A and B are shown apart, each in its own frame.
Chain A
Amino acid sequence: MCWLSRMSCLSNRLGYQKWFISVLLVIFTATVQASPSGATDEDITQGTLVYFAKDKVIQALAMDTQVSMDVSGLLNRVTVKQVFINDTDQWLNGRYVFPLPENAAVDSMQLRIGDKIIAGQIQPKKQAIKTFETAKKQGKQASLLQQQRRNIFTSEVANLGPHDQLVVELSYQQTLDFNDGLFSLRFPMAITPRYHPDNTSNKDKQALAIAYIDPTVLPNRVAETSKNQGINVNMQITIDAGFTLNIINSLYHPIKQSVNGQRYTVSFEGKQIADRDFVLQWQADVGALPQAATFYQTGKTHTVAVNPDDNITITAGDQSVYSLVMLMPPSVEVSEQHLIGRELILVIDTSGSMSGQSIVQAKQALQFAIAGLRDIDTFNIIEFNQDISLLSPEPLTANSHNLGLANRFISTLEADGGTEMAPAIQAALVDTLQSESVNVLGESMLRQVIFMTDGAVSNEQQLYQLISDQLGDSRFFTVGIGSAPNSDFMRRAASMGRGTFTYIGKETEVQQKIEQLLTKIEQPVLTNIGLYYLDGSVPDYWPSTISDLYQNEPLWVSIKSPSQLLQPMIVSGNINGQYWQQQLDFTDNQPARGIDLLWANAQITALELHKNAASGPRVNKQVEALGMQYHLVTSQTSLVAVDVTPVNPMSDTTIDTNVQSHLPHGLQVGNQAQILPQTATSSRLWLLIGFSLLGLGILHFLWLRQRLPGQVLVIEANV
């Protein structure tokens, strides 16, 4: 640092001290300039959660959550009690954003004020907000439950008194995950991109990948939250599976369990902080696994007037029978000669938007995909940006020579250029399977297209149309790559293509996710699934297009039948190319509650999946009607509860606060969380430092030449 010290003595001598120091200060402070100042550290004591909105420092609400679950057979009824606690001396309005499982049908909400219980009314979303805001203004206590996205909800309370609490109690109905003989239920407790290694519903995985952290919170403060602050969760679960269980296992939380006959009780050991999802899994004794199960309910769960004492009230009036069917397709022992070859078409997006990490991941994914091919398979690779190029004009057999070719092709791929997806989809869906490409037993090959992209396209509608027009017998699987792929496009494209959507967020996941996908789709067990009555007419069932079933996946379908009498139905499909059917007699039909909610929810899910710009308003109306009819919280309907008597005399000055969701355990913000686009460059910093250094250099030069003002005088004086 010779030059620095020299400069400072120079500056001293010449009286330029201030100028230099300020330049140096600018250089150093500019690089370390921090977040907007506003919150002062003195205000923050340990264990207090503080955030600021612009200049104001506001205290966050504390929150206590009590969850009770009632598992019966394959159904789960969950009640979540959210206790909003106000520790301050002011009146507050509170807001809490929280996740629920994607398949949850939320049908009831109650506001508890002391001993008083006010039942929530279902209203169209806008009207509900109006009702709530009016109550807020009038100083009445009220609560509002809204759906933000399919799995993200908000609950709000108005006029929460000083040192008081309000309880919002909501309930939902869901079916359990049942896969590979393992039952599992998940209760999400933190909202972030979470890439579960488990095998459940790959389709909706991306729906979880939403990071919500309160906008105004400094994330490093959140980490300081101690155990007695923030969101505590209490969990109480009873399981009545109808058979003996052999293992009950919580993946991430310590639990206590007890047994009473066939009734199992599970609860948390103490309270847990809500920073990671709760997953409970159990297995039945071998042989006790259900192969099929049907549940039914007559009439709707909710009528317009709800009895507040019992939020599930079955009334006569609607005589429709709602039923839920779970069916395990017969497991097929696949012998060597029964193996069906497949033609795997791998499509990779090499447009400019894939540059960086995305293309690296995509190339790895390709390599893993072709490494998993068997010698009875054929494959091809299509690369596209504004042009498309194919590895080979015809699909190649998977021998070592061709795999070598493919690997060389993959290693030359680079991300640049535009995104013209339509020609690539067209090329991928051209039916190259000739009629002779059947295996020894005359079974036709499977044609599977795996499409890897970040989905940065603008002509989505056209592409959906193209996929559904050209699909034929192919199946279209999408793999989302990169930190923020257009998952909505990819999920819908996969649904049009009767395939699944897989999301790969990290390089370390590439191998596992790709292998999982390839193994799963290696052998579809049941395809072209349909449902009809004995006379050939089609029942009102959802989801209306049932996707292919793969190994150890059960079929779930919700049916609404008009009369009291349930007629037998036929489930049909293809197993290994052979026609298969099974009659459902409903002889072993178990009565259950909340089946109509599941039916309505399945219909809403299907409607929203196929929603587009043209059908949008119509779908919204249908969803609103279903929500109103079945008392469900949907994208168009919300539950609102209002107390009659105004309690807050100063409702104008009531402060809005948020309950702070926890950052998921171990999450580094900005690492895997989805964030808003980065909209700053350091250009001005480089310019400033650059000009400062240039100035220094020139001054140094002048000093060397003794041309600085005053310098000559000093030297002359020395002489």
Chain B
Amino acid sequence: MKPSLHAKIHLWIMALIILVGLGLIAQGGYMQAKAHFAQFLIERAFEQTLVDNQPHKPWSWADTHPVAKMRLLQHNAQGGQQPLGQDLYVLAGASGRNLAFGPSLMLAGAGVGEQGNMIIAGHRDSHFMRLQYVNVGDMIELYSATGQLQVYQITATQVVHETATEVLDQTESSKLTLITCYPFDQLAGNAEYRYIVEATPLV
């Protein structure tokens, strides 16, 4: 084998590996960046909504609008409560497109402030990654688009199969159901299981 050809092959392989690597980083990074930075735009739209009580789209071509602000509170060692992660802005309609930008309210369930089962879904690898740290008894603060605060307390967590649509069933009493994929440390998409967090409103 000629040394020059040998070196060439090595160079090509190296270039190829680096290119594919960069491509994948770009793809994965784009998803993460979208999830992270869209929240700022959504926050802006939500604040406008708080001012004039009109739905605002976070960006002009959006098919959705923010409906709520959510904050997870965790009990700490001192007996107090500390927020878990940054505030999350919830979008209307849990389509795959919306979920890429933020946790989304399922329209089949109750609306924010309505009676019934309110269902919010979010990605386990971005917004709802923090759900793995919540415990029964922790609080969830939810601000509606009219600025009203409702505090929920987590009553149960469970793992269900993706076909277990009875968690979407409407209930008579008010309830908040959070859905994300399970297990949290799985890297690939297309999860078969869901992690369900149920919370009931504190009066």
Which residues of the partner chain B approach A488 to less than 8 Å between Cβ atoms? 108
Q: Report which of B28, B107, B180, B192 forms a contact with A685, defined as CB distance below 8 A.
A: B28
Known: A680-B189, A683-B32. A670 touches B162 (CB 8 A): yes
B78 interface hit (Cβ, 8 Å): no
Interface residues of A in 622-680 (CB under 8 A from B): 669-670, 673-680
Complex alpha-carbon distance, A692 and B29, angstroms: 14
Give min CB distance, B127 to chain A, whole Å. 9
Shortest A49–chain B CB gap in Å is 14
**For B61, what are the chain A residues with a Cβ–Cβ distance below 8 Å?**
416-417
Q: Among the listed B24, B180, B182, B188, which residue makes an inter-chain contact with A33, where contact means beta carbons less than 8 Å apart? A: B188
B96's closest neighbor in chain A, by CB?
Answer: A678
Residue of B nearest to A351 (CB): B63
Bound-complex Cα distance A456 to B63 (A): 10
Query: Is B111 an interface residue when CB atoms closer than 8 A count as contact?
Result: yes
Judged by DSSP, the binding face of B is mixed
Contact with B along A1-29 (1 / 0, CB 8 A): 01100000000000000000000000000
Q: Is A583's beta carbon under 8 Å from chain B?
A: no
Map CB proximity to B onto A681-719 as digits: 1 under 8 Å, 0 otherwise. 111111111111111111011001000000000000000
A288 to B26, CA, bound (A): 73
Contact B7 A704 (CB under 8 A): yes
Question: Which residues of chain A are within 8 angstroms of B22 by Cβ–Cβ distance?
Answer: 690, 694
B99 at interface, CB cutoff 8 A: yes
Q: Which residues of B in the span 168-193 have a Cβ within 8 Å of any Cβ on A?
A: 168-169, 172, 179-183, 186-193
Whether B161 and A697, one on each chain, are in contact in the complex, defined by CB atoms closer than 8 angstroms, is no
Instruction: Say yes or no: is A545 at the interface (Cβ < 8 Å to chain B).
Output: no
Judge whether A680 and B163 touch: CB under 8 Å: no
Per-residue interface assignment for chain B, residues 100 to 140, with 1 indicating a CB less than 8 Å from any chain A CB and 0 otherwise: 10001011100100110000011111101000000000000
- In the complex, A50 Cα to B200 Cα: how many Å? 32
Q: Determine the chain B residues whose CB is within 8 A of the CB of A211 once the complex forms.
A: 163, 165
Residues of the B chain whose Cβ atoms lie less than 8 Å from the Cβ of A33: 186-188
Question: Residue-by-residue, is A262-278 near B (CB-CB < 8 Å gives 1, otherwise 0)?
Answer: 00000000000000000
User: In chain A between 596 and 634, which residues have their CB closer than 8 angstroms to a CB of chain B?
Assistant: 613, 616, 620
Whether A571 is near chain B, meaning CB under 8 Å from some CB there, is: no
Q: A352 and B63: CB pair below 8 A?
A: yes
Kindly list chain B residues whose C-beta atoms are within 8 Å of the C-beta of A457. Answer: 107
Contact code string B1-32 (vs A, CB < 8 Å = 1, else 0): 00000010111011101101111111111011
Which A205-250 residues have a C-beta within 8 angstroms of B? 210-219
Q: Which residues of B contact A352 (CB under 8 A)?
A: 63, 95, 97
B151 within 8 A of partner (CB) = no
- CB-CB under 8 A from A214, the residues of chain B are 161, 164
- Interface 0/1 of B129-167, CB less than 8 Å to A: 000000000000000000000000000001111111111
**CA of A669 to CA of B164, assembled, Å:** 11
| B66 touches A (CB below 8 Å) | no
Known: A351-B63, A620-B172, A701-B14. A676 touches B165 (CB 8 A): yes
- Contact yes or no, B179 A679, CB < 8 A: yes
Would you call A35 an interface residue if the criterion is a C-beta within 8 Å of the partner chain's C-beta atoms? yes
Within A113-158, the residues touching B (CB, 8 Å) are: 148-149
Interface membership of A524, Cβ < 8 A: no
Q: How far is the CA of A411 from the CA of B42 in the complex (A)?
A: 34
Chain B, Cβ-Cβ closest to A97: B166
C-alpha spacing A375/B32, complex, angstroms: 55
| B57 at interface, CB cutoff 8 A | yes
Of the residues B17, B159, B167, B182, contact of A697 by C-beta under 8 Å: B17
Check: A511 CB closer than 8 A to any chain B CB: no
Say if the beta carbon of B62 comes within 8 Å of chain A.
Answer: yes
The docked-state distance in angstroms from the alpha carbon of A537 to that of B1 is: 104
Interface size on B, residues (CB 8 A): 77
Residues of A near B189 (CB, < 8 A) are 678, 680-682, 685
Query: Which residues of chain B come closer than 8 Å to A486, judged between CB atoms?
Result: 107-108
**Contacting residues, chain B, for A35 (C-beta < 8 A):** 192-193
CA distance A674 to B15 in the complex (A): 44
Q: Are A682 and B28 in contact (CB under 8 A)?
A: yes
Residues from chain A with Cβ under 8 Å of B7 in the complex: 704
Give the Cβ gap from A566 to chain B, nearest Cβ, in Å: 39
- A418-B164 contact in complex given A677-B106, A687-B29, A700-B14, C-beta closer than 8 Å: no
* Chain B residue contacts of A378, Cβ below 8 A: none
In the assembled complex, A36 has its CB within 8 A of some CB on chain B: yes
Q: Are A219 and B9 in contact (CB under 8 A)?
A: no
A3-B13, A679-B121, A700-B10 known; A30 and B168 CB under 8 Å? no
> A677 CA to B115 CA in the complex, in Å?
22
**Residue numbers in B under 8 Å from A704 (CB-CB):** 7, 10-11, 14
Contact A210 B28 (CB under 8 A): no
Choose among B20, B93, B121 the residue with the greatest number of A CB atoms under 10 Å from its CB. B93
Report Cα–Cα, A704/B8, bound state, in Å.
Answer: 11
Q: A675-B162, A691-B25, A694-B22 are in contact. Are A700 and B187 (CB under 8 A)?
A: no
Which residues of B sit under 8 angstroms from A148, Cβ to Cβ?
Answer: 166, 169
A676 touches B179 (CB 8 A): yes
C-alpha gap A597/B168 in the complex (Å): 30
Minimum C-beta distance from B162 to chain A (A): 5
Q: CA–CA, A217 to B160, complex, Å? A: 8
Set A97, A213, A690: member contacting B163, Cβ < 8 A: A213
Q: Which residues A76-111 have CB closer than 8 A to chain B? A: 97
- Across the interface, which residues of B come within 8 angstroms of A689, CB to CB? 21, 24
In the assembled complex, which residues on chain A have CB atoms less than 8 Å from the CB atom of B182? 36
The answer to whether A458 has its CB under 8 Å from any CB of chain B is yes
| With A36-B182, A353-B63, A685-B187: A679-B123 Cβ-Cβ less than 8 Å | yes
Contact A690/B23 with A458-B92, A704-B7 known, Cβ cut-off 8 Å: yes
By a CB distance below 8 angstroms, the chain A residues around B108 are 486, 488
Most buried by A among B10, B28, B169: B28
Cα-based distance from A44 to B7 in the complex (angstroms)? 55
**Shortest 6 CB-CB distances between A and B: which pairs?**
A686-B28, A690-B24, A693-B21, A215-B160, A352-B63, A690-B25
- List 16 other contacts, CB 8 Å, given A679-B124, A686-B24: A33-B187, A53-B158, A212-B165, A214-B164, A215-B159, A353-B95, A613-B115, A616-B115, A676-B165, A680-B123, A680-B180, A682-B28, A683-B35, A683-B125, A690-B23, A697-B15
